[in-house]
């Protein structure tokens, strides 16, 4: 792989974690666009866009820090660097719940790194704009689908078969808590537990 550790690569492809909301629609002057429509537009764009500018325009610093594992400006730079690594080809947004300037929603991803996963997110409304504020995890985590998605990406990157086989086994044997810890909480111990045994097989860049 091109990165120094497999765990860093995993966080880099957490594109829902570095959401780019280029196509997000704002409120129109006539009030014709309601909160649910805007949230749907935001999440749909987030999962498929690759515009680095959206790392600050359409997500809170809290969200960026959570999903990159970095802090402050370093988190923003990490998000911008990896913005083109999208979470899905398409996403089906459901279960939108709005409470004032706070909301939650789910998005079922198809294609790319989170193919087959349903992602849970929280949003806040700041100055009339909905922003992603918290990646809350996966609903009914599908480990087989996640392993398959990573396998496809690693093959495309030209990584060795031993690495791919190792990673597949790691996903299949890992607990949901370890996977959630890696992708939701940026837990370095969980990352090491999930990816560490396979690091020796990967090409270092």
Q: What is the per-residue pLDDT for 6?
A: 42
For the beta carbon of residue 176, count every other beta carbon within 10 angstroms.
12
Give the separation between CA 47 and CA 78, rounded to whole angstroms: 17
Condensed to tens digits (0 to 9), the pLDDT of residues 162-197 reads 999 999 899 989 999 999 888 888 788 999 999 999
Partners of 129 in beta bridges: 126
Residue 77 has pLDDT above 70, yes or no: yes
Q: DSSP letter for 136, please.
A: E
CATH 3.10.450 given to domain 11-139: yes
Greater confidence (199 vs 13) lies with 199
- Return the C-alpha torsion angle 25, 30, 34, 35, nearest 10: 60
pLDDT of residue 20: 33
What is the per-residue pLDDT across 86-96, written as a single tens digit (0 to 9) for each?
777 888 999 99
pTM: 0.76
> Residue 17: which of 74, 72, 86 has the closest Cα?
86
pLDDT given at position 203: 61
Cα–Cα distance, 46 to 57 (Å, whole number): 12
> Residue range 7-29: average pLDDT?
38
Q: What's the token pair of residue 113?
A: 């790194």
157 vs 151: CA distance, rounded Å: 10
pLDDT of 13 over the 80 cut: no
Distance CA 196, CA 7 (A): 8
Q: Which two tokens stand for residue 6?
A: 């497999």
| pLDDT tens string 130-167 | 889 999 999 999 988 888 888 888 888 888 999 999 99
d(CA 118, CA 91): 9
The phi and psi torsions of 146 (rounded to 5 degrees) equal -65, -45
**Residue ranges of domains in the chain:** 11-139, 142-201
Phi first, then psi, for residue 137 (nearest 5°) are 120, -165
């Amino acid at each position: 792989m091109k990165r120094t550790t497999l765990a860093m690569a995993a966080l880099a492809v957490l594109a829902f974690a570095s959401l780019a909301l280029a196509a997000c629609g704002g409120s129109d002057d006539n009030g014709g666009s309601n909160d649910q429509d805007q949230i749907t537009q935001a999440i749909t764009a987030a999962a498929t866009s690759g515009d680095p500018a959206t790392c600050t325009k359409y997500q809170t610093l809290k969200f960026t820090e959570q999903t990159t594992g970095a802090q402050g400006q370093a988190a923003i730079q990490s998000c911008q660097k990896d913005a083109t690594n999208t979470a899905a080809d398409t996403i089906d947004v459901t279960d939108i719940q709005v409470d004032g300037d706070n909301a939650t929603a789910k998005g079922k991803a198809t294609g790319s790194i989170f193919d087959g996963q349903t992602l849970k997110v929280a949003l806040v409304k700041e100055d009339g704009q909905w922003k992603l504020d918290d990646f809350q995890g996966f609903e009914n985590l599908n480990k087989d689908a996640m392993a398959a998605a990573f396998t496809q990406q690693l093959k495309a990157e030209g990584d060795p078969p031993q690495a791919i086989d190792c990673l597949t086994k790691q996903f299949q044997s890992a607990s949901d808590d370890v996977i959630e810890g890696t992708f939701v909480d940026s837990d370095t111990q969980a990352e090491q537990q999930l990816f560490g045994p396979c690091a020796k097989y990967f090409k270092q860049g």
